[in-house]
Amino acid sequence: MLSIAPLLSTLPPLSRDERRRFTAAAFCSASETEDDTERARILDQVVVANLSVARTIASRYRSRGIDVEDLEQVASAALVRAVHRFDIALASDFLAFAVPSIRGEVRRYFRDNGWMVRPPRRVQELQTQVLDVRSRLRAESGGPCSEQAIADVLGVPEADVVEALRAQGCFAPSSLDVPLTDGGSTCVGDAIADPHEGEHLAAAEARVMLRPLVRGLSERDRALLRLRFVEERTQQEIGEELGVTQTQVSRMLTRVLADLRGSLSAA
């Protein structure tokens, strides 16, 4: 069996081949020792030797709305759990066992903590696959790749890929309070058009035109309009307030509204 003592003295760093040989030898030693303290010490060295692997996995998810330090912490904790779960009697390649486990922990962390605006679970899971495939295709081709190419690799409709990419900003949406220019007072939110702006302008115009006409009504007619359109009372409640029947309230409203329409038309 390969002695691990010389390799322990070289930590850190280790080359990829040294790390692989050291890891295999360390697990063999840990499985053979009956001293729990010694076993824990050896497993700790395995963790130290493979921390760079965990950091590399975490770095693939940088710039997606979560601090890379948090991702490295999650990946490192997953590495520790993988080291203590690994059984060399069942498998000889530790990284083949650990890498999918670490990657899965990082993805779950994104799913549970990374979404400021949470899309459907289906979109969350697909987005991670889409981004991985897009990065691989870009590296292979040396340029951009289409949504259809990504869809072909994943075996999903192109529309699903488009939806997943659109949800990318849900990790950390841009603030509406960010200035449009350095030192400027106009923010992003100020430049977004109000979809109901036309309705608001029409309502404002109507209020300007109606205000003098309403002032010209009798006190009772103004009370009638206030009860119906401001306090939104029913005709029965208005009748009880004014001391008239519900039918009389209906007739009064019809008359007042007709008078207002006639005055607006004549204006």
> Where residue 98 sits, what CATH number does that domain have?
1.20.120.1810
**Does residue 35 lie in a domain region?**
yes
- What number is the average pLDDT over the span 58-81? 85
How many structural domains compose the chain?
A: 3
**Does residue 21 lie in a domain region?**
yes
Listed range (5-19, 120-134, 207-221, 249-263) with the worst mean pLDDT: 5-19
**Does residue 200 lie in a domain region?**
no
**Does residue 149 lie in a domain region?**
yes
At 187 the three-state DSSP class reads strand
At 179 the three-state DSSP class reads strand
Contact present, 170 and 115 (Cβ < 8 Å)? yes
CA-to-CA distance for 8 and 14, rounded, in angstroms? 10
**Does residue 209 lie in a domain region?**
no
Q: pLDDT over 90 for what percent of the chain?
A: 20
Contact present, 68 and 49 (Cβ < 8 Å)? no
Cα 12 from chain centroid (whole Å): 37
Whether residue 87 sits in one domain with residue 126: no
> Where residue 253 sits, what CATH number does that domain have?
1.10.10.10
pLDDT in tens, 78-137: 999 999 999 888 877 898 899 999 988 888 887 677 655 566 777 777 877 888 888 888
Whether residue 104 sits in one domain with residue 16: yes
- With 50 as the cut, is the pLDDT of residue 1 above it? no
Whether residue 103 sits in one domain with residue 38: yes
Whether residue 260 sits in one domain with residue 160: no
- What integer pLDDT is reported at residue 5 of this predicted model? 42
CA-to-CA distance for 150 and 170, rounded, in angstroms? 20
Domain region containing 78: 1-114
**Helices and strands of the chain, counted as H and E runs:** 12, 0
